[in-house]
Amino acid sequence: MGMKCAILNCAVAAFAGFFALAPAQASNVAQSEEALELLEELRAPDQPRWQRIERQIGRLWSRSGSASADLLLQRGREAMERGDTSAAIDHFSALIDHAPDFAEGYHARATAWFMDGRLGLAMDDLQQTLSLNPMHFSALAGVGRILEDIEAYDRAYRAYKAANAIHPHRDDVRTAIERLERRLSGTEI
């Protein structure tokens, strides 16, 4: 674990100031009125349709506005489903080259980097995702996961809490918050 922490020190240090970032670069799709309305609905703790709303948000965020970019996203996701992270990274990198302001391209590649064990690169792409779409609850949860993996527990806790504030229905995020609350309070897990 010590070597992994040393390798990721730069990425984590660069990311440490994330929560102070202004959402000035948020993409138009991410901040569209439709997306904001859906996020507001999702935020309701007693929302019975949260899974449907989550899917609608995912579909909206996956629209780049370019047929070729959407095709690259689709091909990358298909490669991920096959377990071919190398091909997925290639497709997502081409997507990012084609549409550098498309947050979902960075998020998709971050997932591929993570699956390939390249946590620093995943963290970089998650940071870019969040600079383009600060409401990206899955990216925030991904940040929490990586920070928890490298034992930056207090930062992981803040990332999970930020994700939960946007999307309070994800069991994995709530479980992570509870786990980290116990750890940070000194209670054994």
Domains of the chain: 26-61 (no CATH), 65-129 (1.25.40.10), 135-189 (no CATH)
Instruction: Confirm if 73 and 108 have CB atoms less than 8 A apart.
Output: yes
Residue with structure tokens 């994700």?
163
**DSSP of the chain, one letter per residue?**
-HHHHHHHHHHHHHHTTGGG--GGG--TTTTSHHHHHHHHHHH-TT-TTHHHHHHHHHHHHT--S-HHHHHHHHHHHHHHHHT-HHHHHHHHHHHHHH-TT-HHHHHHHHHHHHHTT-HHHHHHHHHHHHHH-TT-HHHHHHHHHHHHHTT-HHHHHHHHHHHHHH-TT-HHHHHHHHHHHHHHTT---
Q: What is the pLDDT of residues 84-128, one digit of tens each?
A: 999 999 999 999 999 999 999 999 999 999 999 999 999 999 999
What is the reported pLDDT for 27? 52
Task: Output Rg (C-alpha) for the chain, integer angstroms.
Answer: 16
pLDDT at 29: 57
The overall average pLDDT reported for the chain is 87
pLDDT at 186: 83
Place of tokens 């240090």: 13
Q: Percent of the chain at pLDDT above 90?
A: 80
